[in-house]
Chains A and B, each alone.
Chain A
Amino acid sequence: MKNPARILVTLALLAGGATACSLVVGSLDECKVDADCASKGANLVCQDKLCVAGHAAVDAGTDAGPAVLRDPLCQSLFGAVDGGPNLVRFGAIVPKTTSAGTADQRGVLREHAIQLAAEQVNAKSALPNHALVIRVCDDTGDATKAAAEAKELLDEGAVALVTTGSSQTIAVADPAIPAGATLMSISATSTQIASAGVLPDGGAKRVWSTAASDALQGKVLAQLLTGQLASSPAGAPFASVSCVQRDDIAFNGLFDSVQATLSSIDGGPAINRHIYAAGSDPTGAVQAAMADNPGAVLVITTVGETPKIFAAWTQPDPVWLFTDNARSTSLYAFDGGLQRLAGSEGTGPSAAPTSDPVYGLFKGLYTAEFSVDPATSSYVPNAYDAVLLLAAGALWADGHGGVSGPGIASGLGQLSDTTQAPTNLTADNFTALSAAFSQGKRVNVRGASGALDFDPATGVAPGPIDVWALQPDGGIGTLQSVTP
């Protein structure tokens, strides 16, 4: 306040710089209408008497506009990620994290296989004049979430989806079939798969699986219980058998298969089933099973729920038998688990033989890119095959009316002609496949996961079933491979 004139001058300068009207430079208004901005640059509009960029250029993060919202669990994009003309778009849904938020190695390794297949297809120009792009979602093992993610993938334009387990695949089929997409599962084994995606108009079946059906696994389980296999557990044939089962559409199918086979075997034991609701406490079912005083108990549930069953079982352990869902070291992840369960057996579709040349090619590419052995987890070669099978279906469809979900499904029906010499299912061989298709021939592909001899009516390929056992050291060894 010692020098009011200086203060006033300072204020005047500040005001002039901060407002539209300056005592120093005069009016800062630029325009009254948009046309006044034409001379100042392109795409400028008059707003508040100033020329500013048009609405489309304003965004939260980039100059191109606000980013389109994507499901945060669907951010992985492989293949032709930069877009381009003539894109063929697939989607994939795998469990990459658990419901607890930890990484699920099964999904991570399968995603690698999907990525590898997409890259191979584009690198080898397996789809002439087309580029393949695949968005991969993480369903965290939740079938409901998978179905919601599928809607987003389908909206984006996916004509085919790669899925995983039976429950998830059946849930995804709900929005996918009406949208015209075709599904190829990596690991769905439910007997329900054979009837899923069957169209009333007789069109090509839309739900397929690279994994052997539970109908076959059920037969092998029944053979184990009745002592018909060399790997049958001690004590077989069992006079009485109980089953503790999670209520699930896929598990129901597997149990039905076991029961049907047991009833067809002379002297086969009756099997008492005790069901508990999915995710609920299985104690009641376990107590009912204990009351049976069975010689063997078949457990059909997710590996995550098995510890609850063992905790509720208070009698001396019977002979435990498991299915492919329990083929994991997580099976004994509870106090005293390994001690109680060592030697217990189970079944599951056989992995591809490591000596197979197609598997060898796949393994070489996979290991080179990701520095991990694909045999570390199950169904990894199936994931690779799933993408290549859908791409082969797209190749056929491209020559028969254009790439579409129904077209791919029709193309899948051309790949398992066992009267033809096998063709290795690799991106390199798509030229040969294309030549055969253009001559109206069917082919017989053989993939990294096995023979892939699909029945076009059921969309399922038969395959050998492993009998596995939990080793005392915590490992899981294969006792026998059975072709039912």
Chain B
Amino acid sequence: MPTRLVGVALVAALLAPAPALAKQSTDAKVKELVKQGQAQYTAGDYASAVQTLQKAYELKPIPTLLFNIARAYDKAGDAEHALGFYRRYRDSSPDDAKLLGEASRAIDRLEAAQREKEEKKRAEDAAREQQRKQEEERLAAERAKLEQQQAEAQKAQQLREQQQLAPKPRSRAVPYALIGVGGAAVLGGGVLGLTAKSLADDEKASTDPIAKPDLRSRAKTRALAADVAYGVGAAALATGIVLILTEPKPAAEAPVSAVPQPLLFDHGAGLAWGGSL
């Protein structure tokens, strides 16, 4: 049993972590990682170099590693992370004045680039905002113009509709022609009537059995024609006169107003119509 216990104790001791070896192992691991990170950086694989150097820094927080991580980020074009790590290096109070100066200049450079980028973005935003406003103003102006055009079109349409609804003035040629034709017909009827009267007189005066019937026939014919002419002429005259008298007034003209006005006199009273034309 004692021999077995000693054996177990020895095996346990062999398997237990050895601090000195662990320390040496950590240093060796850091060296290996730094070497690997440098190789990756040299090969231009900056993203991998960053990861490797960060692992090394986690094992051993050596300030120079912060600078190297910053540089790898810088080379990769990641200004934001580069700036962060350069600042961390600066804030770690490193002893290397030259490297500190280098980090400070890198910080100045990256901050200036960041400012320039922000200013450029602000300028672009301002330009976009200005462009947006101009576009809005243009659209508003176009909308207003369109609305004005629509209003004008609507107004014109309404006017057209009003004009279509309003009675159109009739041509005066027709009534005057009717009056003329009617007058001529009446005049012709008169002439025919006189002729018929003359023939009738001749018929009455004649006793010639041959001529008399002929005169009567001719007098009848002329009298009929005179009657037709009188009738047509009178109808035409009346129609013409009616048309003239019933012609509508223009719509734009103010309507004639007529108001009954009572009139009082010393010896009586009356009613009169007055108004404006």
Contact = CB atoms under 8 A, between A and B. Distances in A.
Contact of B31 (A52, A61, A72, A154): A61
Contacts of B99: 68
A58 B25 CA distance: 12
B contact face: mostly helix, strand, loop, or mixed? helix
A69 B72 contact: yes
Interface in A25-78: 28-29, 47-50, 52, 55-56, 58-61, 65-69, 71-72
Given A60-B32, A60-B38, A154 B105 contact: yes
Interface footprint category on A: 35 or more
Interface residues of B, number: 49
> Which among A8, A11, A69 has the highest number of chain B CB atoms within 10 Å?
A69
A154 B34 CA distance: 25
A316 interface: no
B75 A12 contact: no
A178 interface: yes
A19 interface: yes
B30 A60 contact: yes
A179 interface: yes
B105 A157 contact: yes
A178 B112 CA distance: 9
B14 A71 contact: no
A16 to B, nearest CB: 8
A307 to B, nearest CB: 28
B95 A4 contact: no
Contacts of A175: 109
B69 to A, nearest CB: 9
Contact of A179 (B19, B20, B105): B105
A67 B38 contact: yes
B270 to A, nearest CB: 100
A47 B23 contact: yes
Nearest to B42: A72
A50 B22 CA distance: 11
Interface string A290-327: 00000000000000000000000000000000000000
Contact of A58 (B22, B30, B105): B30
A61 B13 CA distance: 33
Contacts of B14: 11, 14-15, 18-19
A49 B17 CA distance: 13
B60 interface: yes
B108 to A, nearest CB: 8
Interface stretch (B2-10, B230-238, B243-251): B2-10
B139 interface: no
A179 B71 CA distance: 18
A141 to B, nearest CB: 17
A339 B25 CA distance: 67
Contacts of B16: 19
Contacts of B3: 4-5, 8
Nearest to A87: B98
B243 to A, nearest CB: 84
Contacts of A154: 105, 109
Given A19-B18, A48-B23, A49-B19, A8 B7 contact: yes
Contacts of B106: 151, 155
A50 B20 contact: yes
Contacts, number: 115
B34 A157 contact: no
B19 A48 contact: yes
Contacts of B34: 59-61, 66
Contacts of A357: none
Interface string B218-235: 000000000000000000
B213 to A, nearest CB: 115
Contacts of B23: 47-48, 50, 52
A198 B215 CA distance: 131
B11 interface: yes
Contacts of A375: none
Given A50-B19, A69-B72, A21 B105 contact: no
Contacts of A239: none
Given A66-B65, A67-B38, A157-B105, A56 B95 contact: yes
B64 A65 contact: yes
A20 B101 contact: no
Contact of B71 (A4, A65, A69, A83): A69
A151 B103 CA distance: 12
Interface in B63-116: 63-65, 67-68, 71-72, 74-75, 95, 98-99, 101-103, 105-106, 108-109, 112
B39 to A, nearest CB: 10
A148 interface: yes
A468 to B, nearest CB: 38
Contacts of A83: 98
Contacts of A19: 13-14, 16, 18
B61 A55 contact: yes
A156 interface: yes
Contact of A71 (B7, B27, B75, B95): B75
B79 to A, nearest CB: 11
23 contacts: A5-B3, A8-B3, A12-B6, A15-B10, A20-B19, A21-B13, A48-B20, A52-B23, A56-B62, A58-B30, A61-B35, A66-B56, A66-B64, A68-B64, A69-B41, A69-B71, A69-B72, A151-B106, A154-B109, A155-B102, A155-B109, A178-B109, A178-B112
Interface of A: 4-5, 8, 11-12, 14-15, 18-21, 28-29, 47-50, 52, 55-56, 58-61, 65-69, 71-72, 83, 148, 151-152, 154-157, 175, 178-179
Which 7 residue pairs spanning A and B have beta carbons closest together? Answer: A60-B34, A48-B19, A60-B31, A15-B13, A72-B42, A155-B106, A69-B68
Given A19-B16, A69-B41, A175-B109, 17 more contacts: A8-B7, A8-B10, A11-B7, A11-B10, A12-B10, A19-B18, A20-B18, A47-B23, A52-B23, A58-B27, A58-B60, A60-B33, A61-B34, A66-B65, A68-B67, A68-B102, A155-B102
